[in-house]
Amino acid sequence: MALLKVKFDQKKRVKLAQGLWLMNWLSVLAGIVIFSMGLFLKIELRKRSEVMNNAESHFVPNSLIGVGLLSCVFNSLAGKICYDSLDPAKFAKWKPWLKPYLAVCVLFNVVLFLVALCCFLPWGSLESTLAHGLRRGMKYYRDTDTPGRCFMKKTIDMLQIEFQCCGDSGFRDWFEIQWISNRYLDFSSKEVKDRIKSNVDGRYLVDGVPFSCCNPSSPRPCIQYQLTNNSAHYSYDHQTEELNLWLRGCRDALLGYYRSLMNSMGIATLLVWLLEVAITVGLRYVHTALEGVSNPEDPECESEGWLLEQSVPETWKAFLESLKKLGKGNQVEAEGADAGQAAEAG
């Protein structure tokens, strides 16, 4: 027994085809939106590739770009089919291709749903590459005279200002690296010598942060040096007083930014997926309703349309049997080829 059988007359068939034609062109616009979202996400990842260890995952943006292009192609073709279905003579050329086309549409809907799910899944690769990339960027912050690294100071400063963050996981990360270039150190100074000698690696480490870590909303002038020395500043206690620095690390800030972007894109992709499913179902009804017309010369006659020719269990059983037949056919062909080779060898 057919699943979700519906009766159609000429008027209903025309309304269904016209509605699907409009929905297909709306879906073409939606495909352009998905393509644009994937392109935007890819550009956003490329913009900060200097602090991403050059190994960030582009799977999600590439997938969005791919399904956006496919959506435009499939829905343009479906719009043409729906337009031609109004004329039986024009629709006749599409009949042999509609079943394979519908199968491809179902497969595309599955892929689109999986891409939408990927937008919501935790992106572990991005977090790990940000951790390595930010640490590397902070390490090269001082190398303003080194070719290939001279841009890193500006990149890190602009990143901390834009995202209101400091360091990788917090401002204390700057205490563990030498971020002041040797070019600006007075090596004749006793303080500089003592700091370098007190460090095993011979680095000039200070309890300070770059200016870009300062929070301009703080009423107190920015304290960016001797952050842990209470006696160096008037009425100051670094353990109890709220520092006038950005307290959030840049890794969390960037992850939050990209996750909010991807969640929004995932919701938009799911909405497009619902539209695509509705179009596929409607196209199936157009296909079966036109095939069920008993007298092609009488376009006014009634016909029946359905979603599946049999029930869901029967359809699944028939699908598995067809797969088994296909497997057995391939096995027989392989055995025949082996026997032929043996005969030739004999």
* 10 and 99 belong to one structural domain: yes
pTM for this model (two decimals): 0.78
Q: Mark which of 225, 252, 279 sits at the end of a domain.
A: 252
Residue at token pair 């028939």: 318
* 217 and 272 belong to one structural domain: no
Buried b (16+ CB within 10 A) or exposed e, 199-208: eeeeebbebb
Alpha-carbon dihedral sign for residues 23, 26, 32, 36:
negative
SS3 58: coil
Domain count, the chain: 2
* 238 and 275 belong to one structural domain: no
* 116 and 168 belong to one structural domain: no
Whether 338 is in a domain gets the answer: no
* 145 and 39 belong to one structural domain: no
* 111 and 193 belong to one structural domain: no
Output the tens digit of pLDDT for each of the chain's 346 residues: 555 666 766 787 778 888 888 999 999 999 999 999 999 999 988 888 888 865 556 888 999 999 999 999 989 988 888 887 777 667 777 777 778 888 888 899 999 999 999 888 866 677 888 888 899 899 999 988 888 788 899 999 999 999 999 999 999 999 999 998 888 888 888 888 888 888 767 888 888 999 999 988 888 888 888 888 888 888 877 776 567 889 899 999 999 999 999 999 999 999 999 999 999 888 888 777 777 665 556 666 666 666 666 555 665 566 566 656 666 655 555 555 555 555 565 4
Q: Beta-carbon neighbour count of residue 300 at 10 Å?
A: 9
* 164 and 247 belong to one structural domain: yes
Residue 211 in contact with residue 161, Cβ under 8 Å?
no
* 38 and 112 belong to one structural domain: yes
Backbone phi and psi for residue 78, each to the nearest 5 degrees, phi listed first: -65, -35
Q: Beta-carbon neighbour count of residue 333 at 10 Å?
A: 10
Whether 313 is in a domain gets the answer: no
Whether 30 is in a domain gets the answer: yes
Whether 346 is in a domain gets the answer: no
Residue at token pair 């959506």: 71
Q: Which domain holds residue 99?
A: 3-124+255-308
* 243 and 100 belong to one structural domain: no
Residue 25 in contact with residue 58, Cβ under 8 Å?
no
